[in-house]
Amino acid sequence: MKTILFIAHSPDFYGADKVLFQVIDAARGSYRIHVVLPGRGEMAQRLSAFADVELHFMALPRFSLAAGDVTANLVGFLPFLIKFRKFLARIGPDLVYGNTIRSALPVAISRRLGYPTLVHYHECNPTGAAGRLLAKLAAGAAKRNIFVCRYALESYAAYSPRIRAHSSVIHNGLAPPAERPGADEPTEFHGRSPRLISVGQLAPHKRIGDLLEAMPAILEKHPQAMLAVLGEGALRDDLERRITALELEEHVLLSGYRHDVAPLINAADLFLAPFAKEACNMAVIEAMMAGKPVVATAGGGMPELVANGETGLLYAPGDITQLTECTLRLAGSSELRQAFGAAAAQRARELFNESVQMGRILQQIEASANPGKGHQV
């Protein structure tokens, strides 16, 4: 039985982490599995339930091109190189599988030492000097790459065109829900209409603040509207201040990180995705699987998920007026929401089915794993 070493970029359990968990679960039974985690968190808790998965904790080195950081890079990198090289020699993986661009450096080390490698990229638009360098490093880091959307692949290819030759596009996937939701209405939405929901970290690139800016105009047409935002992050305090300043305390709930996402999505009327430069958002796919129309930006990989005018509406990223108009159009028509929602569910089941997508990823893993491992520098 071959051995796979998975490199997790985060101890958390957000979109890219969930996809990695799916891949590890799908590979169990066919491979001996080791996972490197940068710390203890929900990912470790979930993986620890698998007796056939061995966990290892090792902080990944961070890389920066900021002035004065060169020495810090070396101080962090050299001890990691020594430790990681010994670790590879001990477990002898047939494949080193990195998750996100954060894993590009250890994957590049692995390939340099002669181990077959694969990187699964969930990000798009590498920017700045550090981003360009990482994109070029990524092009040569792995023997094979998986990108979660075509937009992400092309954003890397802009820096390193040769990455196209050994890359595949496999969108994220989810299992279709076994049944539609029950009748119980979450307290967050009790007696409110329309019920709006968004799921994502409270981070700048998620642009949750755009939703707050749109709410006053939405409330003019729909005084009982309610927006629930599921997620946690560094911008919570700032967003709470903006909610107060806009007098939205009775209409916007920052619900924090939740495990019961599905019941809230099921109870919502529509899903809002103001995210900037998103690649293949798992929450959007989950909403579509649940038969919810989606209002999303026309940036990043969103147009690969949402069919504009068929399963939802797309708007220019950061355009609050367009965001408001799209939301009001769907909020004001139950017939349109029903039609878009049905089309969204069908599209998600056809294009983003977990079993199909995992099958394609396992094919990439099998093609990448090579029993003839090298161990020379």
Model pLDDT for residues 232-290, shown as the tens digit of each residue: 999 999 999 999 999 999 999 999 999 889 999 999 999 999 998 899 999 999 999 99
pLDDT attached to residue 179: 61
Distance CA 183, CA 130 (A): 50
pLDDT attached to residue 275: 95
**The architecture CATH gives domain 187-351:** 3-Layer(aba) Sandwich (3.40)
What pairs with residue 195 in β-bridges? Answer: 226
pLDDT attached to residue 69: 52
Q: Is the peptide bond before 161 cis (omega within 30 degrees of 0)?
A: no
Cβ atoms of 218 and 225 closer than 8 Å: yes
Q: Which amino acid is at 42?
A: E
Question: Which has the closest alpha carbon to 173: 353, 359, 41?
Answer: 353
pLDDT attached to residue 18: 95
Going edge to edge, which strands form the sheet with 144-147? 53-57, 32-37, 3-7, 95-99, 117-121, 144-147, 167-169
pLDDT attached to residue 376: 36
Q: Which regions in the chain score pLDDT beneath 50?
A: 65, 67-68, 70, 181, 371-377
Give the residue extent of every domain in the chain. Answer: 3-173+354-368, 187-351
- H helices of the chain, in order, are 15-27, 42-47, 70-91, 104-112, 128-141, 150-157, 208-221, 236-245, 261-267, 282-289, 302-305, 320-331, 334-351, 354-368
What is 3-173+354-368's CATH topology? Rossmann fold (3.40.50)
Q: Do domains 3-173+354-368 and 187-351 have the same CATH topology?
A: yes
